[in-house]
Amino acid sequence: MITEKNALITGGNKGIGFEVARRLCELGFSVWLGCRNAERGEEAAANLRAMGYIAHALLLDVADPASVTTAVGVFHEQAGRLDVLVNNAGIILDHEKKPSEESIDNIKAVFETNVFGPIRVTQAFMPLLLEAPAARIVMTSSSVGSLSIMSDRNHPFYSIKEIGYCSSKSALNAAVIAFAKELEGTNMKINAGDPGHTSTDFNNHAGPRSVEQAATVLVQLATLDANGPNGGFFSEDEARPW
C-alpha cells in the first residue's frame, strides 16, 4: 500500500519551481524535480536532501515527447502514483520586441514549452494521477495571460506587448478550463496560479516579488482540500479574471 505522497514540479531545479518543491517537502511530500539538465537537477535534489527532505531529480524536457514518455516510465517504476503535478517550466523569447518584429519560430518555441509542454506532461502522467485518491494539477500562469487585464488601460501591465509569451499564457489558461471540465465529478482538481512579477533569472531579476511570495499560490493550489476550486485562475490573494 502506497502511503507516501509524491509531487512532480517541472522546471523544479531553480527559482519558483525549487521553492515550490521545498515548500511541498515541508508538508511531507516526496518531491521530484523535472529538469532538462540532469546535473543541475541532481544538484537541486541534493540540496533538498541536505535539508532532510526526500527529493529526486527526473530528467524531463517538456518540449520533447520522447523525454516525457521516458520520464513517465521512470517515475512509474520508482514512485508509482502521482499526487501533485505542478507544470512550472516556461520560457520567454524576443522579450520587449515589438509584436511586428517577433520571430514566428520563437513564438512556436514558446508555445512548445509553455502550452504544449504542460498539456503533454498532464496527458502523459494522467494515469498516475488517477492512481492518487485526490490528485491536484497546477499550471503556472501569469496575469499577462488574462485578456481582461491586458486590455485594461489602467492596469500596470497594459504596456506589455509580447505576442509569444502573453498569448502562450492565455492558451494555457484555456487548457486549464478544458481539463477542469473533464475532471468534473472526480476527486481531481486543476487550477492556474499567477505567481506575480517575481525576481528570478527568467526576467534578469527584474520582478519585485520574492520566490517565497511567488510560490505561495502554487502551493495553495497543490494542496487544496475537497472543497477547493476546480478550473480557476488565482493569485495569492484573489481570483484572477480570464
Of 141, 142, 143, 168, which residue is the catalytic one? 142
Distance CA 17, CA 211 (A): 9
Distance CA 239, CA 54 (A): 32
167 is catalytic: no
Distance CA 115, CA 241 (A): 19
67 is catalytic: no
Distance CA 128, CA 6 (A): 10
Which positions ≥6 away from 168 have C-beta within 8 Å? 90, 110, 111, 114, 115, 145
Catalogue the E-assigned strands of the chain.
Answer: 6-10, 30-35, 55-59, 84-87, 136-140, 189-193, 233-234
The rounded Cα 114 to chain-centroid distance in angstroms is 9
Of 141, 143, 168, 169, which residue is the catalytic one? 169
Sheet with 30-35: list strands edge to edge. Answer: 55-59, 30-35, 6-10, 84-87, 136-140, 189-193, 233-234
Residue 240 in contact with residue 143, Cβ under 8 Å?
A: yes
Quick one: residue 103, left, alpha or beta (phi over 0 = left, psi -120 to 50 = alpha)? Answer: beta
Q: Which three cell numbers stand for residue 235?
A: 493569485
Nearest to 172 by CA among 215, 208, 137: 137
For the annotated catalytic residues, the residue numbers are: 142, 169
